[in-house]
Amino acid sequence: MTTSASPDSGSASHRPVLRLLPKANARAIRRGAPWVFENELVMDRRTRGIAPGTIATLEDHERTPLATVAVNPGSKIVARVLDREIVEIGTEWLRAKVAKALSLRERLYDAPFYRLIHAEADGFPGVIVDRFGDTLVVQPNAAWADALLPVLTEVLAEVTGCANVLKNASGRGRVLEGLDDADVVLMGAAPEAPVPVVMNGATYMADLTGGQKTGLFYDQRDNHAFAAKLSADASVIDVFSHVGGFGLAALAGGAREVLCVDGSAPALDLARAGADAMGVADRFATRQGDAFDTLTALQEDDARYDVVVCDPPAFAPSKQALDKGLRAYERIARLAAALVAEDGYLVLCSCSHAADMTAFTGACLRGIGRAGRRAVLIHTGQAGADHPFLPQLAESGYLKALFFRL
């Protein structure tokens, strides 16, 4: 029996087999559901002994083959669907998948700065790849991808023509999969300085080795553009700004003045470097500190802004954290709404997959109401097209952006 996830090893006919319980929803798998949990499978000693990262065949309870899956018995997600056909998972399969993902991005974007692979939605469960020109940053957040990382690295470089491939091991998913947290250079070399990335007329400085996640959040690109439309000749505050996401886009849109607020001094240094590169440093300022404390202090000072943006980290990263997270979103909305000038704009974002659009909107409206403000919703945004949404996986539609006029 094959228990190795090495590329092109063995025939599909000799793989381990996972079998669904009679109560499991095989129809969901046939219709594209990408995950199979422990309580849906026959978890006998043989199944529990399969090495993490092993490629296997998934069958329904009547022993009809359903899909080619990657297995990790130590994870809550025991099986991740790689292909709904029974196929070999190796170099050719990876090459075709990467080429398909690249073809979409090259159609969408003129410059090679985008999310190249967005996990399940691109047929790579647990895998994130962001492109920064000639450098790719990979987050292999599932055991199968970690096991296949050498061949995946070669295929990524071959298909894209990129010279440098870096592994970022900061993803929360790696902990859940029992994987290491070592960042390494897989091919080529890491950039010695932050990489300038131009989006929506703004220049962002992406730190690919010391920054958050892969170095830059591409998912907000379209929402940055919409906010920029609201920012002409406006005073703008961008809270939880990271490297200046909304703030620098606002300056590109003609903002009169922008203040970026974040708890990370290195992130604000990168934001200032971006403003310098754009030649707009005279209209740009930063303030380091806790977002809640800063918003409270600004309210006490009777500060007002034409556009207020809050783009916090995930307050509700799991269902268990949902209630607490929604209270945090409500509090942010209340504090931020108090700073919006009459007929100004409030932009509130969430990257919590556990908080759906209805729950998030409700929390925001409660907060705005508690601030004594009246709001109309003028636009809702989501992640850009390089972060495609897989309808069978609600978690892939994690990003929400609400644009209010107060």
The structure's pTM equals: 0.93
The string of pLDDT tens digits covering residues 264-315 is: 999 999 999 999 999 999 999 999 999 999 999 999 999 999 999 999 999 9
Mean pLDDT, rounded, of the chain: 94
- Confidence bin at 4 (pLDDT 50/70/90): very low
* Predicted pLDDT of residue 214: 83
Three-state SS annotation for the chain? CCCCCCCCCCCHHHCCEEEECCCCCHHHHHCCCCEEEHHHECCCHHHHCCCCCEEEEEECCCCCEEEEEEECCCCCEEEEEEECCCCCCCHHHHHHHHHHHHHHHHHHCCCCEEEEEEHHHHCCCCEEEEEECCEEEEEECCHHHHHCHHHHHHHHHHHHCCCEEEECCCCHHHHHCCCCCCCEEEECCCCCCCEEEEECCEEEEECCCCCCCCCCCHHHHHHHHHHHHHCCCCEEEEECCCCCHHHHHHHHCCCCEEEEEECCHHHHHHHHHHHHHHCCHHHEEEEECCHHHHHHHHHHCCCCEEEEEECCCCCCCCHHHHHHHHHHHHHHHHHHHCCEEEEEEEEEEECCCCCCHHHHHHHHHHHHHHCCCCCEEEEEECCCCCCCCCCCCHHHHCCEEEEEEC
* Predicted pLDDT of residue 145: 96
List domains and CATH numbers for the chain.
Answer: 12-83 (2.30.130.10), 91-187 (3.30.750.80), 195-405 (3.40.50.150)
- Confidence bin at 176 (pLDDT 50/70/90): confident
